[in-house]
Amino acid sequence: MAVPSSVCRAVARGGASVAARRGAASAAPAAAAAPDAPSADVRPYLDIPGPKPLPVVGNIWRFLPVVGPWGGQDMLEVHHTLQSTYGDIVRLSGMPKNRDMVALYDPVDIEKVYRNEGPWPKREAFGSLNYYRRFINKERYEGSHGLLTTNEKEWQEFRRGVQGPMLQPRAVAKYTAPIDTVASEFIERLREIRDENGLLPKDADNWFFRWALESIAIIALDTRLGCLDSQVAGEPQKMIDAVQVLFEGMFELDIKPSIWKYVSTPMWRKYVNAISTFETVSEKYIQNRVNRLKSKMAEGGDIGDDLSVLERLLLANDNPRIAMTMALDMLFAGIDTTSYATGALLYLLSRNPDKQEELHAELRRVLPQRDTPVTAERLQDMKYLRAAIKESMRMKPVAIGQLRENPKEGLVLRNYYIPKGVDILLMLAVSGNDPRFVPHAERFMPERWLKGDDPHAKGHPFATLPFGFGPRICIGKRFAELEIEVLNAKLLRNFKVEYPCKGEFQTRLLHVLKSPMTFRLTDRD
């Protein structure tokens, strides 16, 4: 999963050595020669409001179950409390790991951080995966640690080698037909697994994961795995099981307090096994592609330009491990994100039946039959669908915020000096739902994103950034959009969707529906 883990974990653990930062903060006036050097009236870092740390226990006690006011509370709710208590900038200090964190809730400040993040935006994330790649299985990852767990030059070099194949619109559009086939199969499965009242079963989330795994495998591994077949066994079943363990593991190991770094816990061992299943399966399919490309080249044949993303990744990089790690990063980041983003969209449409009907009218026009295939051209015509997806990502983004380490001395936010190295948390789930920055923020209004509508209706452009911004923007953004658009076009063309559960959300690894995705699906004609 993408970055969100870091966000929660960093908030949960992200305090700072006050002493160390105090030095940095008091050095502010001396930094006069630094870029953006603050003027004399800039206030010192330590003046930023925030909860006062207690001696020895700092601020960490606030997050402890039972004794702490935020123990067991949802992380997004904690941020709403922080904002209403202290304002649009909050300093969290006195936490373990000796790192300070500044949380921002105003898009003007969020924009300033993004504009100053430099060529290699830095953030700490995915501690367990990073540890695994660097220490447990380091031979495999030597020279190719991927995007999720790297920073600075190492990250930049990797990103340079994979960015083209991943983000080229034409290359992405070529996947519309296979993604459409997977979505059709998924819809058939949904018909079969719903009960006589049309309700999806309690393990519906896992079915959405299967759809996402099957879809991302086409892109990452150039293959169909068979996760949506009616009878699943063998390799696809192993992958499905590994997905469950992976997300559970990341939550247990990276977000909840855990001793895995010191003792090999059962969860850690299950997690390592799940990663190794991903590796073994991925290696097999990638090796197939390597062999195919090699034999084509050996025959002197033209490899043509109708290449898959995986082939492009292999050809663009001398080291085949780069394609391998990129494929694994896609599998880790591209399953729960797209599944839960779909859950949020379906939930909001079920709570806003008038908007769902408007969308259905568009889909009926563009897809006259229930099984009319979705094509790249037809997608262009589904403007209301794309607007509805954008609106749901504004209201219920799966990643509640982005984390950045301030790369330079001299950054000033809301007239406070921010020392180099401080973690800055850009709380987009808060800013995107704040009526000061997005008009009628509490209302689900897809039309605000349609061309010709009031340009102010969208609100501040940095209030809502579900995929991030800048050089480190989600590298799977275009594929994620394609998958979500295709699936939901078909799903909402085929079914009226209702959600008979309470519509609460919770922040675990991602910000997701609290109850399972047991939507009621009623056939449309």
**Binding region for heme:** 474
Residue 247 binds ligand HEM, judged by CB under 6 A: no
Q: How far is the CB of 220 from ligand HEM (least distance, A)?
A: 7
Q: Where are the alpha helices (DSSP H) in 116-233?
A: 127-131, 138-141, 152-167, 169-173, 176-193, 204-220
Q: Kind of pairing, strands 411-413 and 402-405?
A: unpaired
Is residue 107 a contact residue for ligand HEM (CB under 6 A)? no
Work out the angle at residue 245's Cα, subtended by the Cα atoms of residues 393 and 133, and round it to the nearest 5 degrees. 90
- With beta carbons less than 8 A apart as the criterion, state whether 465 and 104 touch: no
Query: Residue by residue, what is the 3-state secondary structure of 281-302?
Result: HHHHHHHHHHHHHHHHHHCCCC
376-381: long-range contacts (C-beta < 8 A, 24 or more apart)?
A: 376/173, 376/176, 378/489, 379/176, 379/482, 379/485, 379/486, 379/489
Does the protein bind ligand HEM through residue 468 (CB under 6 A)?
A: yes
Q: Which is nearer to ligand HEM, 99 or 394 (CB)?
A: 394
| Residues in binding site | 474
Site string for ligand HEM, 401-440 (x = CB under 6 A): -x--------------------------------------
Cβ distance to ligand HEM smaller for residue 103 or 341: 341
Position 479 contacts ligand HEM (CB under 6 A): yes
Least spacing, CB of residue 192 vs ligand HEM, in Å: 26
**Helix 383-395, helix 353-366: angle, nearest 10:** 150
Q: Which stretch binds ligand HEM (CB under 6 A): 131-139, 189-197, 453-461, 467-475?
A: 467-475
Q: For ligand HEM, which residue has the nearest CB?
A: 476
Nearby residues of 203 by Cβ (< 8 Å), 6 or more positions away: 516
Minimal distance, residue 467 CB to ligand HEM, in Å: 5
Q: How far is Cα 74 from Cα 76, in angstroms, rounded to an integer? A: 6
Binding string, 131-170, against ligand HEM, x = CB under 6 A?
----------------xx----------x-----------
- Looking at the Cβ atoms of 159 and 520, the one nearer to ligand HEM is 159
Q: Is 172 in the site for ligand HEM (CB under 6 A)?
A: no
Residue 339 touching ligand HEM (CB under 6 A):
no
Site membership for ligand HEM, residue 173 (CB under 6 A): no
Segment contacting ligand HEM (CB under 6 A): 29-37, 268-276, 372-380, 394-402? 394-402
Number of H helices, E strands in the chain: 20, 10
Residue 237 CB, shortest distance to ligand HEM, in Å, is 22
Residue 331 C-beta: closest distance to ligand HEM, Å: 8
Residue 398 in contact with ligand HEM, rule: CB under 6 A: yes
How far apart are the C-alpha atoms of 11 and 25, rounded to whole Å?
21
The piece of 282-290, 328-336, 453-461, 486-494 that touches ligand HEM (CB under 6 A) is 328-336
Residue of 10, 50, 466, 494 interacting with ligand HEM (CB under 6 A):
466
Interface segment toward ligand HEM; rule CB under 6 A; list 86-94, 317-325, 334-342, 517-525: 334-342
The tokens for 261 are 């770094």
Helix 176-193 / helix 204-220 crossing angle, nearest 10 deg: 160
CA dihedral sign, ordered 142, 144, 148, 152 = positive
Rule CB under 6 A: is residue 329 a binding residue for ligand HEM? yes
Q: Which residues are paired to 92 by β-bridges? A: 101
The answer to whether 472 contacts ligand HEM (rule: CB under 6 A) is yes
312: enclosing H helix or E strand = helix 309-316
Any contact of residue 330 with ligand HEM (CB under 6 A)?
yes
Are the C-beta atoms of residues 133 and 149 closer than 8 Å to each other? yes
Helix (H, G, I), strand (E, B) or coil at 200: coil
Decide: 20 and 71 in contact? Cβ < 8 Å: no
Q: Which residue in the set 480, 492, 509, 513 belongs to the binding site for ligand HEM (CB under 6 A)?
A: 480
* Interface residue list for ligand HEM (CB under 6 A): 2-3, 147-148, 159, 216, 329-330, 333-334, 337-338, 341, 398-399, 402, 466-468, 472-476, 479-480
